[in-house]
Amino acid sequence: MGRELTFSYHILQHGWNGYLRMLDINYKTSYICPLCQEAPEFLIMDGITMGTIKELPNTVEEYLEDQRLSFVPLSNRVLVSDLQTRKLIKSYYSFGLGESEFHTMVNSLEFEEITEYIIYANNVIDEVNVINPTYPNAKAIMELFSRSEPISGIFPVSILSECEKKAIASLSCGNQIDTCLLYEIFEKMHTLRLFLSSFGEVQEQCATSTGFTLHPILAGVLRAILSKIELLNNYREGRKTVEASPSNDTLDKYFPAITKRYRLPMYEDDNEEKYKGCTKIYPKHQRLSPGLLVVVCRHKVCYGFQILRSKESTTTVFNLLLTLFKKPPRIIIYDNACNLHNTCIIREPKLFKDTTFLVDRFHWKNHCCNPAYSLKSVKSHDFMRINSQVCEQLFSTLRRITTQVSFMRIENIFYNVRYFLYCLNEQELRKLKC
């Protein structure tokens, strides 16, 4: 028997990393979906935690030097502008208010329509503050008035088609709409269903065989909501789309197939009433660790990846969206979608007016924000398929490399992740060609 030829793990590792660097692969043609091209309509993002990177490079971004934009104040993004009034509404539906506090609350509401709703609902609340069972969701609607998430996130009209948007507008003006169409809208918009059921039997009386009209008080509240969203949508012109240098990919950011890049605007510091956001529950170590963010389209083709300084850096994700796309995707599905939505709305409300932000089923359990952000709340077939097929498969695939990349140096993470995602893409692209 001859001598066994062995080599150390270190040599194997060295050999593999060297091999990855020498591969002659055209990544540009692999990192793009033939159906979605450079502008995917659905963008699904997921991050994995990597605990040990010390030498994270700084992303080199190109800014628009002449543009310094202000943030949208919190009062302009929420339905009830005044913080004190929002607090009073919260106390009101949680444990009731004294007579004078109740008057302060209704007098400081900026929309008469909301005052009318609260006064009407108040008549059906008995002395021990139990809401009449005919109005099961009245508390839920009042909770909506007291929230500080952007109104366009709680009431995501962006998810509707143009025809459905028109139907909602018509409903708010007291007109009748087709009942089938209304049920299609319900499939997509959890809040509207909740909203209508808040008046229970009263509202049911408005449904006839020919169509459906909204109870005048609810129509008023819907009008108030839509007018606030409209204000936000027309807040100011978005960033100027000035192209950046063709290739500024660094080790922490890789999107080889997207050829056009855009410069980032500069924003003034935010020094207004702080938005608390959704305080998602994370295991402690994840909060501080950087993560690897992977971006795929609805056909599971990966467009690239970005290394985040912290798992919560929604500004980095916002910058990524602005740099890569002239017009943001229509649907963004992301673990931290609620906070990302807020980051986008603060900076570019008009640009993101047609984008809906959703949290997938897998990550939703960690959230305490409004259920309108949950992908689970959208019942239409297309979204349910994405939830069960694309999101879950992406997460389980990414979990397979978490341990390995956690112990690598930044260059090796780059080359290994790039090759791993390339192999996955080739599989998906073959399926798409069949």
Tell me if 243 sits within 8 A of 263, measured CB to CB.
Answer: yes
End-to-end CA distance of the chain: 50
**Distance in Å, CB of 153 to Zn ion, minimum:** 10
**Beta strand 253-254 with 63-69: parallel, antiparallel or unpaired?**
unpaired
**Distance in Å, CB of 398 to Zn ion, minimum:** 18
Q: Measured between alpha carbons, how far is 204 from 188 in angstroms, rounded to an integer?
A: 20
Output the CA–CA distances (angstroms, integers) from residue 208 to 25, 179, 204, 211, 366, in the order listed: 63, 8, 9, 5, 41
Between 212 and 325, whose beta carbon lies closer to Zn ion?
325
Q: Measured between alpha carbons, how far is 312 from 409 in angstroms, rounded to an integer?
A: 22
Between 297 and 394, whose beta carbon lies closer to Zn ion?
297
**Distance in Å, CB of 299 to Zn ion, minimum:** 4
Between 239 and 363, whose beta carbon lies closer to Zn ion?
363
Place of tokens 């080199």: 60
Between 86 and 299, whose beta carbon lies closer to Zn ion?
299
Between 135 and 395, whose beta carbon lies closer to Zn ion?
395
The radius of gyration of the chain's CA atoms, rounded to the nearest angstrom, is 25
Q: For residue 323, which amino acid is it?
A: T
Q: Measured between alpha carbons, how far is 159 from 100 in angstroms, rounded to an integer?
A: 40
Between 33 and 378, whose beta carbon lies closer to Zn ion?
33
Between 23 and 35, whose beta carbon lies closer to Zn ion?
35
Element (H, E) at 15: helix 9-22
**Distance in Å, CB of 33 to Zn ion, minimum:** 3
Chain-centroid distance of CA 227 in Å reads 22
Residues at the contact surface with Zn ion, assessed by CB under 5 A? 33, 35-36, 278, 297, 299, 338, 367, 369
- Give, in degrees to the nearest 5, the angle at Cα 120 between 116 and 122: 115
**Distance in Å, CB of 328 to Zn ion, minimum:** 16
**Distance in Å, CB of 147 to Zn ion, minimum:** 12
Among the listed residues 182, 180, 158, 159, the one whose alpha carbon sits nearest the alpha carbon of residue 170: 182
**Distance in Å, CB of 336 to Zn ion, minimum:** 7
